[in-house]
Chain A
Amino acid sequence: MGIVVRDIYKRFGGFIAVDGVSFDVREGELVALLGPSGSGKSTILRIIAGLEIPDRGEIYLKRENVTALSPRQRKVGFVFQHYALFKHMTVEKNIAFGLEVQKRKRKDIEEKVRELIRLVKLEGYEGHYPSQLSGGQRQRVALARTLATEPSVLLLDEPFGALDAKVRDNLAKWLKELHVKLNITSVFVTHDQNEAIEISDKIVVINRGKVEQIGTAKDVYEHPNSKFVASFIGNVNVVDAVIKNGLIFIKDTDFEIIDRDIDVSVDRDIVLLVRPEDILVEKDSKQEGFPCMIQDVHYRGSFYEFNLCMGDTYIRSVKDKDDFLGKKWEKNQKAFVVFKQYKIFDASEGHWEIREKLRQLGYIE
């Protein structure tokens, strides 16, 4: 086992940030800690690194119990969310820092730094200061600095969080390649489910300081074992609906939803959670589609993203590129949507309260 986290607790004042978390990371694995903001991901990572001392529980690195060791002694690599580069040092000096404090031979240091600069593709930037670099370049310097000491495990706190989408995608793919190349046991924190799905071998879903589910991206996506996981992974749409006289309508419209599994005997408000990929967008209403208006269509590389508007309800849908070809989708065009799958939340308190409740549960961000 590369990393073993055993039943750790951490409270800040009266607030329990980490509440009995356990998980394992196998040698050479790339694991994502995925969860909403404030769920305790950073705290868990900092506990593994030794920057935070858990109130209870143990951390093992390579079978050794390191719970009582200082960050220095653990020999882990940690990449901070905001890079934490040494501002007064050049790129070269930053990367060499870990080796210099170990008093390695000058020649070895120079060689290693050169090698790392090549690895992170920063040739020509050796003499630059962090303030002269772009966000992505800074992140790569941070990574090189961490890799210089050849840590046995690599911990990354939202490594691409502060970057814009384009750079983030590239860097995420690059990190994955790097991980394959170096095969270093790694844990990275993210609140972006796509990032987690795309590059991790295993996902640990965290919610309110607890582990919700552990599994491969496929497991977690297709077989969520809790409502939270089901909705957190894959950006759900929230659609308000009402049950009236034994029929289900989307709120403020006369679009009817046919569902035999719902008890329609009592009039009440309900909320539907629909994943973007469970929404079918059609040009004409072959099936029982709801009429809607296309607000805009975004190109997303491998797929297209639709923003649609049904009455007063805005929803997001995705469509494969192949599916898209040959058809002309335009702004302000009429279309029809079908919900292939959805979850229903029942409440007598009204839409607003149930949305609040879903938000607290972490269903919607």
Chain B
Amino acid sequence: METNEPLVRVRNLKKHFPIRRGIVFERTVGIVQAVDGVSYDIYRGETLGLVGESGCGKSTIGRTMLGLYPPTAGSVNIAGIEVTTARGAQMRLLRRKAQMIFQDPFASLNPRWTVSAIVGEPLRIHNLEPDRQRRDERVKELLELVGLSGRHVNRFPHEFSGGQRQRIGIARALASNPDFIVCDEPIAALDVSIQAQVVNLLEDLQTQLGLTYLFIAHDLSMVRHICDRVAVMYLGGLVELAASDVLYEHPLHPYTQALLSAVPVADPKVARKRQRIVLQGDVPSPINPPPGCRFHTRCPIAQPHCAQVVPEWRQAQPDHWVACHEVEPKQGF
């Protein structure tokens, strides 16, 4: 499915949140550098995984890419639309062509809405099916597309199980015929036996509709399964990006290596033999991130200059991106 044509292009994207204190005289007392200069492409038809520990900035990247947060700096281009400057018709087109799926699809929706209202809303907003009856037909079609029965249209979200609710969220995201979907931890709240159902559905839809995904998750086993390429994030920045099998079999960045070595393996023989790289301490605060390489405070191979110089985001091998001073480029490249 994957082509060599980028559908999404992100360059030096930054999103900082000021922390304000005071009621009468509000002042900025600090800045959360939630996303601090990330660059990558997402190719048409591929699934790019985005992994990293909680608070490292994954959701902020997703939201900023879709124009839900104004960026602090940098650019995002989705299917030719420059997100950071889009206005009017361009913005409306973007709202149709790029969608998001959340961990809890109903957290931000009115619980008194029926499934029909929830899934049909994007059709109304974008005036895609002005005719009421045609709209109801389309909602039924969408529900069937995600494996639910068209008979469910008049029910309410609380009448559904977690897996079914996620299907409804997916149907809603698909209503406006998007090209690109940011999936933000879509299976994190689901039981193991249901996760596989939803992942299979997302894969089928991708094949059927030619969708491109950014798949944000913290389950690294599932990410390997579903993603063509994977980006690893630490404290607001990308540390590594490569094809899934390359990243999992030959991780270059010491953080990626530590992260992978901590993933629990469902095989007692492997689990017992495995060498873990146990990182010391906690992730530092994104308010005052460490200077130089942000990982240097926990890095097992850090050198003095790592605390001073920000490592460049570069290809250590063709299409294998890494931000680390200590990783050598492959001979001859």
B is a partner of A: no
Q: Taking beta carbons and an 8 Å cutoff, which residues of B are in contact with A?
A: none
